[in-house]
Amino acid sequence: MNSLPRIRLEKRLDTPRWLGVATPVFSVLAALLVIAVIFGLLGVNPLVAYARIFTGAFGSLYGLSETVTKAIPLMLAGAGLAVAFRARVYNIGAEGQLLIGAVCATGVALFVPGVPDGLRLPAMFVAGALGGALWAMVPAVLKARLRIDEVLTSLMTVYIASELVNYLVYGPWKGLYESGFPYSDKFPPAAQIPRIGITRIHYPTLILALLAAVLAYFLVRRTRWGFEIRVTGENPEAARYAGMNYLRTAMLVMALSGALAGIAGVGEVAGIHYRLRYPQGISPGYGFTAIIVAWLARLNPLGVILTALLIGGLLVGGDAIQLAMGLPSATVYLFNGMILLFVLGGDLFTRYQIRIELPGRAVATPVRLEREEVG
Amino acid sequence: MPDMSVPAVEMRGIVKRFPGVLANDHVDLTVRAGEIHALLGENGAGKTTLMNILYGIYHPDEGEIFVKGQRAHIRSPRDAIRLGIGMVHQQFRLVPSHTVAENVVLGLPGNFFFPERAARERLQEFARRYGLHVDPDARIWQLSAGEQQRVEIIKALYRGADILILDEPTSMLTPREIEELMATVRRMADDGQTVIFITHKLDEVFAVSDRVTVLRQGKVVATLETARTDKRELARLMVGRDVLFRLEKRPVAIGPTVLEVQNLHVRSDRGLPAVRGVSFSLAAGEILGIAGVAGNGQRELAEALAGLRPVEKGRVLLNGEDVTNRPPRALVRRGVCYVPGERLVGTVPNLSVAENLILKTYDQAPVCRGIFLDSRAIASHADALIEQYAVATPSRETPLKLLSGGNIQRAILARETSGAPGLLIAAHPTSGLDVGATEYIRQVLLSQREKGTAVLLVSEDLEEILQLSDRVAVMYNGEIMGILPADRADLETIGMMMAGIHRTEPEVA
């Protein structure tokens, strides 16, 4: 007879609502626990490090404002990706769509004459959204016409977009007044998004981001397109059976997530830098980090508002400890990677429940989960 | 030989709760050594749950289990296997790209090298003793469902099982394979093996079992000697009331022609000709039954008519309008409804009952206004259909996957027939359903006929075809062998046509 307790997984019939919230929270905590061990191995006291991260991100007005600033692109791209992933269309190329949005905004800011000042910024946002959407159409059309997997192609379009930005800032768009830096010229004031006070929060983009998350939520829950997205994601065969047009749905969510990522790109160049710069100077991987933001929100666009702020805070706090504690710059990527790993892994608990069996007892003890589901 | 005086299995007072469901309610079950014990009940009666408990997949909330007279704590399938219990699930658990021999040995302890000789010898022995013939070198994906099932049985025997649980073993098999399985089960019992046979089909109880235990709503209703009972009694015990084996089919005035199919050619998934020159017509208020062994082009025919599969050649006329190769949406709008043979095709298991009920009308009023879905209209639509079609569900917000097979089929039928369809295509509408649900579904089809719907019924169940149809068409090898009026269709003639032997001139429709 085996005398050790056994741990078993049993498939859940139903996922209670609270678990949908508890799982990401515990996933993040678990990721932080593992990172704490790594900090320990690096000779850094993890408690001190976490305290630093927290105060760095949320402990001062400056930190808070930076957190919000970084949450803006994450929220925009994340809301779009949450919708696309719902339809099981895996757009991994938000980073590229963001860069193309930045390019389009720059084009309108610097090279389109005759736009009235009041319309300059709206035109830039529209151009950025269109550019991002069109860029996302590349993998979408390849998928629709040739059945090429969108994961690979959307990822590859990131590198093309990145090289395009490089070409522009080293080549034709290289600024006359930037003394050799790979920057475009500075945007005229009418092409600069206003900020709140001395912070870098370009609030019109923030409003757009909040609006995007709310609208995306209503799109998914309350419209017939959202119904098509959900059915397509859950059971593509049933979608076909119901007469839904899979390719149209796939194109729609690709275009939507591309447009929102493009708007994020507009915000970065017109709200932060006031110029097109080399790709890493525009976005430290917001488009990729937005994937984590979307999953952490369990693909709920409203949840993206929270998770974007959380991950934004992590980026700011990560920067703070790099400087203060002499940690390598890869630290932030470590956070991102660990959190994504644990969030995806944590999904297991929404589909299974754990039972621990003590030796010598015939009846197993369910771990407090079952009773609460009844009713 | 086992000791026949001690029961092979004794389960006492087994209770198993699932969220919102009492799956097993103080179940007592005694299975004698060396007998074939049928476990009979409707879908959702708790048969599979009970056997999953015996096999260690689930754990009872209460109750105790004795195997061969010993109190047993079965905490995993491994414990069950150690006690000599084997289980063949409805869905096979084999590695498709591996050979039969590899699958049989897979996961056994103590084999670092592949035990080639030993495996072969024992496979031969099982073939000789029980008729479990299967090529040890064949790869699983090359095998038919019946052969794969044999591999599963061999796997259990190889691990020393002398108590074998078969969970609805005939659901995937052809009639011939069913006969072979029954013979194998008999030979195993004669050899001293104990077999527990889960089923909801009355015929199978009488074909194979020594005793039968009937479960209803998680409780044992009776345990009987099979020889001392009859179909009617078992059906009543199983359903809890008398079952109509004869449905009343009222005469209906045949209306105008709804569907006309002319020289239709359709290809299968693999690109081979599956429907080859099929022509027929179907009128309002008429049920045309398409009989035939599965795989003779029925699925492709139904899918082509529903717009889900391209028509290669030929024409489909709906109320006189050419709708050949129109998309599914266009056909839905014209009143074509389709109950697909596989329930998964027609449902989204993770969405709620209410959402599944609007799967085809989600973009039409009153459910949809502009681009917005009206949640109140969705709710009242769901409540009305749930009541009208007596779908047993805790609520309209319950995910569809939590419903039993019969209730899922009720929901599909509710969705497809509530909007007064002009043409209803029903493929295997009662396959896998229990007696009660089957009876209900057939009544719905008949009432549709009375309402003037043209019904195309594709079924492998000849009894069903004969009971419901006004005319019977038999498909063989992609062609219609003949169309007979129901009163001239008898089992023998149809059987011959299904085998491709007999052919009548298609009547003028």
Do A131 and A189 sit in the same domain of this protein? yes
Using beta carbons and an 8 Å cutoff, which residues of B are at the interface with A? 17-20, 58-62, 64, 73, 75-76, 306-308, 327-329, 331-332, 338, 340, 344-351, 355, 358-360, 362-363, 368, 371-373, 375, 399, 402
Q: A17 Cβ partners below 8 Å, 6+ apart?
A: none
Distance of alpha carbon A16 from its chain centroid, rounded? 26
Residues B374-418: tens digit of each pLDDT = 999 999 999 999 999 989 888 999 999 888 888 899 999 999 988
Give domain status of residue A52, yes or no: no
DSSP conformation letters of B201-226: -HHHHHHH-SEEEEEETTEEEEEEEG
- Among the listed residues B99, B61, B56, the one whose alpha carbon sits nearest the alpha carbon of residue B78: B56
> Do the beta carbons of residue B336 and residue B421 sit within 8 Å?
yes
Do B323 and B274 sit in the same domain of this protein? yes
Side chain identity at residue B300, one-letter code: E
Do A151 and A3 sit in the same domain of this protein? no
- Mutation pick from B67, B83, B299, B363 vs chain A, by most beta carbons of A within 10 Å, is B363
Neighbouring-strand partners of residue B194: B163
Residues A187-229: tens digit of each pLDDT = 999 999 999 999 999 999 999 999 999 999 999 999 999 999 9
The predicted pLDDT at position A365 comes to 37
Do B175 and B315 sit in the same domain of this protein? no
Helix axes A286-296, A17-41, angle to 10 degrees: 130
Nearest to B61 among A238, A242, A363 (CB): A363
CA dihedral A364, A367, A368, A373 (to 10 degrees): -90
Give domain status of residue A188, yes or no: yes
Arithmetic mean of pLDDT, A309-327: 86
Domain hosting residue B116, numbered range:
9-239
> Do the beta carbons of residue B412 and residue B349 sit within 8 Å?
no
The predicted pLDDT at position B403 comes to 86
Do A238 and A164 sit in the same domain of this protein? yes
Do B212 and B265 sit in the same domain of this protein? no
Give domain status of residue B135, yes or no: yes
State the total domains in chain B. 2
Give domain status of residue B432, yes or no: yes
Residue with the larger pLDDT of the pair B241 and B487: B487
The vertex-B265 CA angle with B260 and B271, nearest 5°, equals 145
The predicted pLDDT at position A201 comes to 95
Do B230 and B270 sit in the same domain of this protein? no
User: Which chain B residues have a beta carbon less than 8 Å from that of A14?
Assistant: 19, 399, 402
* φ, ψ dihedrals at A147, nearest 5°: 55, 40
A353 pLDDT exceeds 80?
no
State the total domains in chain A. 2
Domain with residue B195: its CATH number is: 3.40.50.300
User: Which chain A residues have a beta carbon less than 8 Å from that of B368?
Assistant: 224
Residues B221-257: tens digit of each pLDDT = 999 999 999 888 888 888 776 665 567 788 888 899 9
Q: A61 Cβ partners below 8 Å, 6+ apart?
A: none
Q: In what order do the strands lie in the sheet with B62-67?
A: B21-31, B9-18, B62-67, B70-72
Helix (H) / strand (E) containing A334? helix A331-346
Arithmetic mean of pLDDT, A39-58: 88
Distances (CA, A) of B316 to A241, B274, B305, B335, B428: 19, 16, 7, 14, 22
Distance from C-alpha of A267 to C-alpha of A204, rounded to nearest angstrom? 9
Residue that finishes a domain, picked among A316, A338, A360: A316
Strands B287-291 and B454-458: parallel
The vertex-B450 CA angle with B448 and B451, nearest 5°, equals 65
Domain hosting residue A301, numbered range:
68-316
Residues A326-345: tens digit of each pLDDT = 777 777 778 888 888 888 88
A371 pLDDT exceeds 80?
no
User: Which chain A residues have a beta carbon less than 8 Å from that of B61?
Assistant: 363
